[in-house]
Structure 1
């Protein structure tokens, strides 16, 4: 589903569509698979419910797992979708998935618990 792209991201292709919830979501099964395959560190019991951080165009956002979201689909709240160049959804789009350490950094920035500069290895910066 995702392949290595850069030092901070994986690249995948998902159908991006408007979602019903307040947060972006992929199918619960795929969310757990991605957590296990790409975020697990191999040290004991892993949490499979950690939010993923994805990027569409210039916008980062946390992604949870949800029942009812089809496989290979990213359901995005309309307010977030409006900040992207996605037109006529559902649309197959390239989506960046932040690697585990980058995701933690972006989530901490969004929570206001860490200050980092705005350099990034992918154009568009770390704004979440």
Structure 2
């Protein structure tokens, strides 16, 4: 699903579509697989912590959701652009970058919950 891109990111292609959820999400099994395959070897193995993806110029945390089809990134309707649904290149932050971005966004990574 994702391959090496740069020192801070992996690159992948996902079908991106709007949905009626509150936070960006991918299929729960895809979320677990990405965590285990890409993050476990770098010791970021907690599966309850969101992934951090970048689409266009915006970073956002992504959770797992069993109602999302595999290979799909679902964006809340108010977050999604008018050009969706579409097949798009998506960046996935590597563990160090993801940790930095999640902490900046207010996540308490020791407890797996948002601070705010």
* TM-score over 0.5 (shorter chain): yes
Q: Which residue of 2 aligns with 1:110?
A: 105
State how far apart, in whole Å, the 2-side matches of 1:72 and 1:112 are: 26
1:19–1:77 Cα contact (<8 Å) kept: yes
Please state whether the residue corresponding to 1:80 is helix, strand or coil: coil
1:53–1:98 Cα contact (<8 Å) kept: yes
State how far apart, in whole Å, the 2-side matches of 1:111 and 1:62 are: 11
Higher percent of residues as strand: 2
Give the structure with higher Rg (CA): 1
Write the mapping of 1:1-128 to structure 2, written as runs, cut at 5 A: 1-41=1-41, 46-82=45-81, 87=83, 89-111=84-106
- For residues 3-59 of structure 1, the C-alpha deviation after alignment (integer angstroms, 9 at most, x for no partner) is 00000000000000002211100000000000001111476xx42222000000011
Tell me the number of residue pairs that the alignment of Structure 1 and Structure 2 aligns: 108
Give the TM-score normalised by structure 2.
0.85
* Unaligned ranges ≥5, structure 2: 109-116
Runs (4+) off by over 4 Å: none
Give the TM-score normalised by structure 1.
0.77
RMSD, aligned CA: 2.0
* Unaligned ranges ≥5, structure 1: 114-128
State how far apart, in whole Å, the 2-side matches of 1:42 and 1:106 are: 17
